[in-house]
Structure 1
Amino acid sequence: MVNDAKKIRIAILDLYEGHPNQGMRCLREIISQWSEYNNLDTEFDEYDVRLKNTAPDMTYDIYIASGGPGSPLESRYTDWEKTFFIWLNEVERWNDNPANQQKKYVFFICHSFQLICRHYNIGLVTKRKSTAFGIFPVHMLEDAADEPIFNGLRDPFYSVDSRDYQVIQPNHSILEKMGASILCIEKDRPHVPYERAVMGVRFNDYMIGTQFHPEADAVGMTMYFQTEEKKKTVIENHGEDKWKSMIEHLNDPDKIMWTYNHILPNFLNKAVEQFQEVLV
């Protein structure tokens, strides 16, 4: 059990730039549900990285960087991105310091995942031929077998995907030098000649990221996609069959809710293991 005196502090780095989204609501709910289920004293703060050019300090135990709109290529050298990478460097320095026994755990989602892949140069971040939007199978690779964050997942598992950019052509020499590993890739599309994108990376012992949205929940997302405005947008851009397919997949407990109930809760569980009391 976690020491009763220990308050778990979590920072969410909001990269949505003020755009309407479901991601932040989902992250708040996952943290609240996980805290209540595990009877943990938890507090979390949100940092609006892109609009307010702000990032958390090193007083937090866990960090989750959200998805967000726009190109992960065109923000290079912007003030907010400099702030974001200064924060990342501080986390790296903290974790590399052997004097710091308690490490900082970080999860990167979608847009922030693309930024990190670009930063480390572990693959080519590029614009897709068409928008990936919907609920898709994700296929695990060999390194996922020993990945604690993927405990309990099936192969393939299903995720919500919404992106115009992707990470392809992984640089295996850089990955090897970093001690990083690719955990999963997108579904096979034999009818198109495109490389399958990287969908999840273990960057180091304390940092992991996914291209997909592990925080997406079935109930909230179903309500969201059934609003007249969103339904109309999806049908206009992707067709009615895509909209019907999404609603059907969202209501399948073995798909989105399975992912929701495993990946981020597993990450949070792993992050607080270091605070477990040693029972003699």
Structure 2
Amino acid sequence: MSDKPQIKVAILDLYNGVANQGMRGFNEILNRYKTKNNTNITWQVFNTRQDNQLPDLSFDLYISSGGPGNPLSENEEWDKNYFKLIDALEEYNAGENGSKKHMLFICHSFQLMCRRYNLGEISLRRSPSFGILPVHFVDGGATDPVFEGLADPFYAVDSRSWQVVHPNEAQFEKIGAKVLAIEKERPYVDLPRALMAIRFNEYFVGTQFHPEADPVGMMAYLVTEVKKKEVIDEHGEAKYNEMIARLEDPDKILHTQNTLIPNFLDQAILSLQEA
């Protein structure tokens, strides 16, 4: 494998030191990808919110994680530095460089990017969303290379207290961004549907759900007494039992985990090879 060109991935950890399953999910996906494709891929984790660690531009592609708390954090030092990196990546991608640097933004990171581009209203939900929920494509979102192989709807782990709703259509048009997917329709609830995936530009894409999540991590959450009570209090016991059943369905979140991030890696690495 040493004769293959090295592909360097930067993972920005926005969990702020809070215990999570996300970082394990990224590690497992990258290990599987490396083995399956016999690729010389390496990755480094940057503890961005807790320690203000950020990668430089020497990496080939970037993944920015979910995380807890308020995405309206523009006055915090790490947030300012985070967007200095985004500025630098955008400048790099706009230049004459043959290769381009792709970046995937997940949940909290997705909300930060929506704030940056003023793409919608960012607000606290009435109650946290947690579960394995259907996500619906819009406007040809299913044809985006990152979503290739996913059904409509597909299932993903949704875990967030904040949301991006009410898309700013004029701003989408101005910067050339595109909504790819939205949350399930709830005709019995008079609430706006959250934006669940956006193609910000040719090289930046984000999801408000967790494509790295897997049944092992979700089961670890759901069987704790605190989370079980929380889900049952919020959604009822039938919905809790449905979540457990969906964990065991290989066409649900396992398929999403095996599809979306590997597609992103394929797209980013292909663009490197074509450069």
TM-score over 0.5 (shorter chain): yes
Classify the secondary structure of the residue corresponding to 2:155. strand
Question: Match of 1:97?
Answer: 95
Classify the secondary structure of the residue corresponding to 1:128. strand
Q: Which residue of 241, 249, 254 maps to 1:252?
A: 249
d(CA) in 2 for partners of 1:145, 1:11: 27
Question: 2:128 is matched by which residue type in structure 1?
Answer: T
Question: Match of 2:149?
Answer: 152
After superposition, what is the alpha-carbon deviation per residue over 1:90-141, rounded to whole angstroms, capped at 9, x for unaligned?
A: 111110111x111111000000100100111011111112211111110001
- CA shift, 1:222, in A, is 1.9
- CA shift, 1:275, in A, is 3.4
- CA shift, 1:220, in A, is 3.2
d(CA) in 2 for partners of 1:220, 1:17: 19
Question: Match of 2:62?
Answer: 63
Question: 2:65 is matched by which residue type in structure 1?
Answer: S
d(CA) in 2 for partners of 1:65, 1:230: 25
d(CA) in 1 for partners of 2:56, 2:175: 24
- CA shift, 1:146, in A, is 2.6
TM-aligned CA distance change 1:121 to 1:230, over 3 Å: same
- Indicate whether 1:72 and 2:63 are aligned: no
d(CA) in 2 for partners of 1:15, 1:255: 26
Question: Match of 1:21?
Answer: 20
Classify the secondary structure of the residue corresponding to 2:122. strand
Question: Match of 2:190?
Answer: 193
Q: Which residue of 243, 259, 262 maps to 1:262?
A: 259
Contact 2:102–2:203 at 8 Å: present in 1 too?
yes
- CA shift, 1:180, in A, is 1.0
d(CA) in 2 for partners of 1:186, 1:230: 22
TM-aligned CA distance change 1:193 to 1:224, over 3 Å: closer
d(CA) in 2 for partners of 1:269, 1:225: 32
Classify the secondary structure of the residue corresponding to 1:245. helix
Question: Match of 1:220?
Answer: 217
TM-aligned CA distance change 1:135 to 1:88, over 3 Å: same
TM-score (norm 1): 0.93
d(CA) in 2 for partners of 1:237, 1:172: 32
- Consecutive unaligned residues of structure 1, counting only runs of 5 or more, are none
d(CA) in 1 for partners of 2:64, 2:236: 31
Percent identity over paired residues: 50
d(CA) in 2 for partners of 1:168, 1:104: 28
Q: Which residue of 191, 207, 216 maps to 1:210?
A: 207
- Consecutive unaligned residues of structure 2, counting only runs of 5 or more, are none
- CA shift, 1:235, in A, is 4.2
Q: Which residue of 126, 130, 152 maps to 1:129?
A: 126
Question: 1:36 is matched by which residue type in structure 2?
Answer: T
Question: Match of 1:30?
Answer: 29
- CA shift, 1:195, in A, is 1.2
Contact 2:123–2:162 at 8 Å: present in 1 too?
yes
Question: Match of 1:240?
Answer: 237
d(CA) in 1 for partners of 2:77, 2:274: 41
Question: 1:93 is matched by which residue type in structure 2?
Answer: E
d(CA) in 2 for partners of 1:228, 1:186: 27
How much is the aligned-residue C-alpha RMSD, in angstroms? 1.9
- CA shift, 1:236, in A, is 5.4
Number of aligned residue pairs: give it.
275
Classify the secondary structure of the residue corresponding to 1:64. strand
TM-score (norm 2): 0.94
